[in-house]
Amino acid sequence: MSRPLLPLKAGAIVFTLLWTAWMMWWGGSFSSANVIILALCGAAVGYLWYRAMRWQFERMGLLPGKDDASGAS
């Protein structure tokens, strides 16, 4: 895990947990099927959020691009 991406990955995990908890609270149904489906959807949403934020931060120059990640100077 590279250091520049550590805060972004931690933020994606927190976003995933908060989104999943919010959807469970908003739905009001805590059946096992609902919890499993929302957990899977939460993981997908968190991953998509991470990819979108990483792309945007690379575009803004706040993260090294894929070509710059090799470490060669």
pLDDT digits (tens, 9 = 90+) for 2-61: 688 899 999 999 999 999 999 999 988 889 999 999 999 999 999 999 999 999 999 998
Neighbour-count burial of 16, counting CB atoms closer than 10 A to its CB (0-12 exposed, 13-18 middle, 19+ buried):
buried
pTM, two decimal places: 0.76
- The helix/strand/coil state of 66 is coil
pLDDT at 1: 54
